[in-house]
Amino acid sequence: MSFISLFTDIASEMLYPVMPIYLDSIGFSIIWIGVLEGVAESISGLSKGYFGRWSDELGKRIPFIRSGYALSGASRPMLALFTHPLWVFFARTTDRFGKGLRTGARDAMLSDLSEGHNRAAVFGFHRGMDTLGAVIGPGLALLFLHYLPGEYKQLFYWAVIPGIIAVALTYLLREKIQKTTPRKHTPIGAAFSYWKSSSTKYKKLSTALLFFALFNSSDVFLLLKLKESGWGDTSVIGMFMFYNIFYALAAYPMGMLADKFSLKKVYLLGLILFALVYTGMSSGNSDALFIILFAIYGLYSAATQGISKAWISGIADKEDTATAIGTLAGFESIATLLASTFAGIIWFQFGAAVSLGISGFVALLVAFYLYKALPD
């Protein structure tokens, strides 16, 4: 599972730091970049809820995992075929739909393979391997653009290769068919009904995570802040790699710390680090400061991304793991759409300082709420 994510992330992260530069080169404004990222992530999240529920109903994981990775792999060359805005929207959202198709089932499978005492470490290890791809991918993009500057379309075609490797690896997966009580398949309109019947603890945690997501815009805006400060394309990609190195190295240790002490404490640490980074990025303009803040941002991601999934899967019943993770992701998708869109509008109207500063302040509010509302 970790190697599948590694190669998938190599493919996607070859393109991610280049994406805002590419979109800008074909005429997308900062507002439309925000809308595109928001719509893409919302489709990903909404499909996570639906297909996560379906995976739990069938007691099967691999068909969703395999199909999702295949769909994402097929979407990447599509971005290079045409530059019409509607086509770019379609290609980008196809990639995110593939992510939504596989994520709930994949995370449930990881949870099934873990024990209660090491669940955060399992998710942390997987996130570390996944993020290692986000180091290798931009490195390959950096090397490619060094020799072929501006050839973004060719880069999209080369990203197909690691995607094919990832899909091939899905055929090595094996699973035991889960014995489940037959349940009627949930229609799309009722995919999030789980939230209504979930525990109070799940509702409180979900509420906090959703409120944070509402003000946590795409990382694209941090990269655009570097561009606004005069950084070149190569330097922006290099900084993205730098961030992911810290993320990849810290993900597994953060998971072990969460298992040993508490998931809540490590997650709260992550929110404080997020607030520090966004506050610093909003007011700073020093290259040295940016380097420090991106390193801290890697620690934030390591302390929150895998741990939030481990936290949610630990709260949910085993037969509803994919549903619980997918339902939260579905609501988060709506928040992400609003977050990226509003961040783009606020940035355009009032500048980067206001847009990033608001996100940092909200992170502190969420940390305070979780500290008071949920036990360790």
Judge whether 19 lies within some domain. Answer: yes
Output the six-digit token pair for 228.
């606004």
Judge whether 189 lies within some domain. Answer: no
Q: At residue 343, what is the residue type?
A: A
Angstrom distance (rounded) from CA 197 to CA 260:
30
Q: Report which secondary-structure segment, H or E, holds 330.
A: helix 321-350
**Phi, psi angles (nearest 5°) of residue 57:** -65, -40
Output the six-digit token pair for 318.
């085993």
**The pLDDT of residue 190:** 46
- The residue range of the domain holding 116 is 2-172+197-373
Question: What is the CATH number for 112?
Answer: 1.20.1250.20
How many domains does the chain divide into?
1
Angstrom distance (rounded) from CA 254 to CA 207:
23
Mean pLDDT value across the chain: 84
**The pLDDT of residue 83:** 66
CB atoms within 10 A of CB 319: 16
Average pLDDT over residues 341-369: 86
Least confident window among 161-170, 196-205, 242-251, 255-264: 196-205
Judge whether 233 lies within some domain. Answer: yes
Average pLDDT over residues 315-334: 82
Q: Does residue 4 register a pLDDT over 50?
A: yes
Residues 132-191 have pLDDT tens digits of 988 898 888 878 888 888 787 788 888 889 999 999 999 999 887 666 565 666 555 545
Judge whether 325 lies within some domain. Answer: yes
Judge whether 235 lies within some domain. Answer: yes
Angstrom distance (rounded) from CA 179 to CA 166:
28
Angle ∠(270,276,278) on CA atoms, nearest 5: 100
Angstrom distance (rounded) from CA 313 to CA 116:
10
Q: Does residue 30 register a pLDDT over 70?
A: no
Average pLDDT over residues 340-362: 83
**The pLDDT of residue 64:** 94
Average pLDDT over residues 282-295: 88
Strands (E), 256-357: none
Q: Report which secondary-structure segment, H or E, holds 312.
A: helix 287-315
**Residue pointed to by tokens 């809540």:** 264
DSSP string of 103-126, one letter each residue = HHHHHHHHHHTS-GGGHHHHHHHH
Average pLDDT over residues 310-322: 85
Query: Which residues, other chains included, contact 238 with Cβ-Cβ below 8 Å and sequence gap of 6+?
Result: 138, 142
Judge whether 187 lies within some domain. Answer: no
Average pLDDT over residues 300-327: 87
**The pLDDT of residue 180:** 58
Average pLDDT over residues 334-353: 79
**Residue pointed to by tokens 């922006």:** 236
Average pLDDT over residues 56-71: 91
61 neighbors 109 (Cβ within 8 angstroms): yes
Judge whether 218 lies within some domain. Answer: yes
- pLDDT category at 376 given cuts 50, 70, 90 is low
- pLDDT category at 277 given cuts 50, 70, 90 is very high
Angstrom distance (rounded) from CA 16 to CA 33:
13
**Distances in whole angstroms, Cα of residue 123 to Cα of each of 69, 187, 345, 362:** 19, 30, 35, 26
The winner for highest mean pLDDT among 18-27, 42-51, 211-220, 274-283 is: 274-283
What are the percentages of helix, strand and coil residues in the chain, rounded to 5?
A: 80, 0, 20
Q: Does residue 330 register a pLDDT over 90?
A: no
Q: At residue 188, what is the residue type?
A: I
Q: Does residue 111 register a pLDDT over 80?
A: yes
CB atoms within 10 A of CB 364: 15
Q: At residue 54, what is the residue type?
A: W
Exposure string over 152-169, b if 16+ CB within 10 A, otherwise e: beebbebbeebbebbbeb
Residues 191-232 have pLDDT tens digits of 567 777 788 888 899 999 999 998 887 787 888 888 888 888
Judge whether 272 lies within some domain. Answer: yes
**The pLDDT of residue 284:** 77
- pLDDT category at 17 given cuts 50, 70, 90 is low
